[in-house]
Amino acid sequence: MRIPGFKTLLAVGFAGVALTAGGWRAAQGGQSNTLLNVSYDPTRELYDAIDDAFAADYLKKTGTKVTIQQSHGGSGKQATAVVNGLQADVVTLGLAQDILAIQKAGLIKPGWQAKFPYNSAPYTSAVAFLVRKGNPKHIHDWKDLLQPGVQVITANPKTSAAGRWAFLGFWGATAGAKTYDLSTKEGLAASIADGQAAKTFPVYDNAAARASIADLYKHVPVLDTGARGATITFAQKGLGDVLLNWENELYLATDEFGKDKFEIVYPSTSVLGEPPVAVVDSVVDKKGTRDVATAYLKYLYTPEAQDIIAQWHYRPRDIDVYKKYIDSFPALKLFTVDQTFGGWPKTNKAFFADGGVFDQIYKPTK
């Protein structure tokens, strides 16, 4: 699938909080029900498709027109924007910790993760590698990123969900985290049960993982603030030998910039990315948009929306839809944040909070 307008959105990729052109046009149309979806970097094209489908479905079922505006940027920066006053009706961010930050600010009520299935994460993704055609640096697994002379492009884990997932993917793989086949109901159930039962998390004390990840960031010449910026740095500016990013972002880059230029490489294991969604209670109660905002997020779980999700290279939760697109999703051994790291609050405090592991090991290149 080609990416409509991907290159035209490159400037937006650096703009942080910015409404898409489609969102502005719709807003100026004067419809009565307008939602603002504040999302993370790579989801522009996905939500363009979802929004059109939802609006048509909502009009058919209720007779009411609805318009959805979009705002995209690094997930952490987007969460901060909402905390600082961006009037999001819904947030569809890259990791649960960012929505927990909005909850902590009092804008979202506790318990939001139980409002929708699968901890309010309607689809998943994984971290994989994009290399230049022919894979000249022979990068096949995480350890290959540490070869002398290899430059790694990835987003900043302080501001980007993709950056955090990449960090955790490397750490968990190096530490030998337990993996699951999440393309099956059995594998999914086992991962959830193990995550709920886990009490100890020895992965934090893995000395090899800590030493290796300190080495990894010595191979990173620049940290972009978001996933889309990292893709542009690698694919358009030509910097680096390998890009670490969301699986869906890698497919979009190859579709747009040419399969003759890049190859996607899957490591032996990776981390299960679970981008969550939530209604922003303080905003919808003020605007009177709770019902349509809730309907919008529920729609993400319908077979129609799950099909769109799969077409844009995100892994659907609906197993039947997943099987329909199984050839598009290579089998992956995945580990979860809950089972491996004990959930996002613990993970964030240890690795990404001020003074955490990332601050201790990362020294910017001068």
Phi/psi at 42 (5° precision)? -80, 0
CB 243 within 8 A of CB 231: yes
User: In the prediction, which pLDDT does 24 show?
Assistant: 34
The reply to whether 170 and 241 lie within a common domain is: yes
CATH number for 342: 3.40.190.10
pLDDT band at residue 15 under the 50/70/90 scheme? very low
The reply to whether 67 and 115 lie within a common domain is: yes
Query: Residue 239 pLDDT more than 60?
Result: yes
Average pLDDT over residues 320-342: 92
In a domain, 156, yes or no: yes
Look up tokens 């905390």; give the residue.
Answer: 83
Query: Residue 4 pLDDT more than 70?
Result: no
pLDDT band at residue 243 under the 50/70/90 scheme? very high
The reply to whether 106 and 144 lie within a common domain is: no
Out of 19-23, 185-189, 193-197, 325-329, pick the least confident.
19-23
User: In the prediction, which pLDDT does 365 show?
Assistant: 64
In a domain, 16, yes or no: no
**CA 240 vs CA 26, 153, 220, 222, 355: distances in Å:** 39, 6, 8, 9, 28
**Do strands 152-155 and 223-224 pair parallel, antiparallel, or not at all (unpaired)?**
parallel
pLDDT band at residue 17 under the 50/70/90 scheme? very low
Average pLDDT over residues 46-54: 97
**pLDDT per residue over 89-135, tens digit each?**
999 999 999 999 999 999 999 999 999 998 899 999 999 999 999 99
Phi/psi at 30 (5° precision)? 85, 15
CB 203 within 8 A of CB 222: no
The reply to whether 76 and 105 lie within a common domain is: yes
The reply to whether 165 and 221 lie within a common domain is: yes
Is the CA virtual torsion 315, 319, 320, 325 positive or negative? positive
The pair of structure tokens assigned to 244 is 């670490």
In a domain, 147, yes or no: yes
The reply to whether 205 and 140 lie within a common domain is: yes
The residue among 1, 39, 42, 38 whose CA lies nearest residue 230 is: 42
HEC states along the chain?
Answer: CCCCCCHHHHHHHCCCCCECHHHHHHHCCCCCEEEEEEEEHHHHHHHHHHHHHHHHHHHHHHCCCEEEEEEEECHHHHHHHHHCCCCCCEEECCCHHHHHHHHHCCCCCCCHHHCCHHHHCCEEEEEEEEEECCCCCCCCCHHHHHCCCCCEEEECCCCCHHHHHHHHHHHHHHCCCCCECCCCHHHHHHHHHHHHHCCCCHHHHCHHHHHHHHHHHHHCCCEECCHHHHHHHHHHCCCCCEEEEEHHHHHHHHHHHCCCCEEEECCCEEEEECCCEEECHHHHHHHCCHHHHHHHHHHCCCHHHHHHHHHCCCEECCHHHHHHCHHHCCCCEEECHHHHHCCHHHHHHHHHCCCCHHHHHCCCCC
Amino acid at site 330: P
Amino acid at site 115: K
In a domain, 19, yes or no: no
- How far is 138 from 147, CA to CA, in rounded Å? 10
| Reported pTM | 0.84
The reply to whether 223 and 150 lie within a common domain is: yes
CB 65 within 8 A of CB 26: no
In a domain, 2, yes or no: no
Average pLDDT over residues 44-59: 96
Number of residues written out for the chain: 366
The reply to whether 114 and 129 lie within a common domain is: no
The reply to whether 168 and 210 lie within a common domain is: yes
pLDDT band at residue 3 under the 50/70/90 scheme? very low
User: In the prediction, which pLDDT does 366 show?
Assistant: 59
The reply to whether 269 and 279 lie within a common domain is: no
User: In the prediction, which pLDDT does 14 show?
Assistant: 37
The pair of structure tokens assigned to 125 is 């993704």
In a domain, 313, yes or no: no
The reply to whether 196 and 333 lie within a common domain is: yes
Average pLDDT over residues 201-229: 94
In a domain, 133, yes or no: yes
Is the CA virtual torsion 10, 13, 18, 22 positive or negative? positive
Beta-bridge partner residues of 33: 66
Of the two residues 13 and 58, the one the predictor is more confident about is: 58
Q: What's the domain range around 258?
A: 125-273+328-361
Phi/psi at 245 (5° precision)? -165, 175
Q: Based on the structure, what is the number of domains in the chain? A: 2
User: In the prediction, which pLDDT does 226 show?
Assistant: 87
Average pLDDT over residues 148-158: 96
N-terminal to C-terminal alpha carbon distance within the chain: 39
The reply to whether 261 and 291 lie within a common domain is: no
Amino acid at site 151: Q
**pLDDT per residue over 285-310, tens digit each?**
999 999 999 999 999 999 999 999 99
